Structure 1
Amino acid sequence: MPRPREALLSRERIIAAAAALIDAEGLAALSTRRLAAELGVRGPSLYHHFATKDEILDAVADSIIAEVDVSFFGTLDWREALRRWGLSYRAALATHPNIVPHLARGPGRRPAGLAMANAVYGGLVAAGWPPARATHIGALMRYFVTGSALGSFARGFVEDPDVYGERYPHLHQAHRLAEHQRSVDEGAFVLGLEALIDGLSRTYERTVGPLPPLAAGRPSSSDSE
């Protein structure tokens, strides 16, 4: 039999093409017409797999959350689990920053998003956190991680030293921040994550009880920079 002239579609192929388009041009660039053109098919072909554009967006978002490692909960001390989850969570979102505004709405009905929330909440409650506090910690981490992935602090400063001059004497090196964007942004995130966990540890000791010492061999912050 002759091969079909129109490329065969699958959910996975649609998701991959939509993710690539969003990564390259942002959320506003995604439409079913544009996506169909990128895939070399007619628009109605997409509706055999997704009923609406929002369903495609949800699938892209969930494919990114599926990259986040939550296996640490239930196997490591909650502090180390939270730390490693935070690093994995940010890494996934920082690779796909244009989808973050959609992800920030919450997991909705997305399976990977719900599985992540379930693992984090369950791990924190099993570690002794009251259910309400476990919910607060999950929300706090989502705010912190998504906020860090929405933009770059370092790239917010232009590379023209004349912008700062004598008017902003404490910013005389600010024009160099953009060239160190990765180390600045990752360093700030790790510092914030460590401070957050330290603060939660003190809250745990005040409200739940003594904390066991962390196991030897815990990675240092510099391992992630």
Structure 2
Amino acid sequence: MGRPRTPLIDRERITTVALRLVDEHGEFSVPAIARELGVRTASLYHHVDGRDGIVELLRERVCAAIDASALGALPWDAALAAWARSYRAAFAAHPRAIPLLMAAPVRAPRVLGQYEAAVRALLDAGFAARDVLTVIIALENLVLGSALDLAAPDTMWELGDDTARTPLLARALAAGPEGREASFELALGACLDRFRALLDEGS
């Protein structure tokens, strides 16, 4: 018998299985991917550069959902806001991938291209080179924290029947928060205001 017309494994299939394992369990292993695909573990190494290579494939897959087209097309602050919203939505779809991806350096060329566009947009707007990554990292902290928050329970405070010790918190909860979208937009607006101030200081 010759080789099957359709290969049993390729980079796309490996990525799909790895991402499903991460979504379900928060982790993956190369042997587990091989078992899912019905091949020997060694066979995967013909397609990927070990575990680190699979992590970068996961990063590319998740980040492919980010729309970075606003960077360079809109004023810098509107562009960052649009990028942040899309970035958040992409990672909110796979919150268990966040700790895994944040523990490894970014190497995927297509993902690095988004950062290149963001850096260019900020430099073109007049930000000092020393401030550019500070702005981007601050925005990422907000985006990724908010993406994790979207996966959290709807109610994070359970006071029970006895609210005598936390009457102010009980009152705030009874008033009802406006929701996660409102919280994110509030934080995003505050970040952009600080970025504008930083730009003014630098100029």
TM-score computed with the length of structure 1 as normaliser: 0.77
Between the aligned partners of 1:160 and 1:204, the Cα distance in structure 2 is: 42
The answer to whether 1:205 aligns with 2:200 is yes
For structure 2, the 5+ residue unaligned runs are none
Identity %: 35
Q: What is the CA distance between 1:128 and its match in structure 2? A: 1.3
Select the residue among 181, 188, 194 that pairs with 1:186.
181
Check whether the contact 2:95–2:151 (CA below 8 A) recurs between aligned residues.
no
1:36 Cα deviation from its structure 2 partner: 1.4
Q: 1:223 aligns to what?
A: none
The amino acid that maps onto 1:194 is G
CA drift of 1:95 comes to 0.8
Alpha-carbon distance, 1:18 to partner? 0.6
Residues 163-184 of structure 1 deviation map (CA, whole Å, 9 limit, x = unaligned): 653221123378889xx99x73
Higher relative contact order (CA 8 A, sep 6+): 2
CA shift, 1:63, in A, is 1.6
| 1:16 and 2:16 correspond | yes
- Which residue number corresponds to residue 149 of structure 1? 147
Gaps of at least 5 residues in structure 1 are 209-225
Counterpart of 1:25 in structure 2 is: 25
Letter in 1 for 2:198: T
User: Partner amino acid for 2:180?
Assistant: D
Count of aligned positions: 203
Query: TM (normalized to structure 2)?
Result: 0.85
Q: Deviations over 1:90-117 (max 9, x none)?
A: 1111111111113224653211221111
User: How far apart, in 2, do the equivalents of 1:95 and 1:173 lie?
Assistant: 32
- Say what the alpha-carbon RMSD is for the aligned residues: 3.0
Secondary structure of 1:172's counterpart equals helix
Q: Does 2:49 match 1:55?
A: no
Judge conservation of contact 1:61–1:102 (CA < 8 Å) in 2.
no
Stretch of structure 1 that moved more, 195-204 or 151-160:
151-160
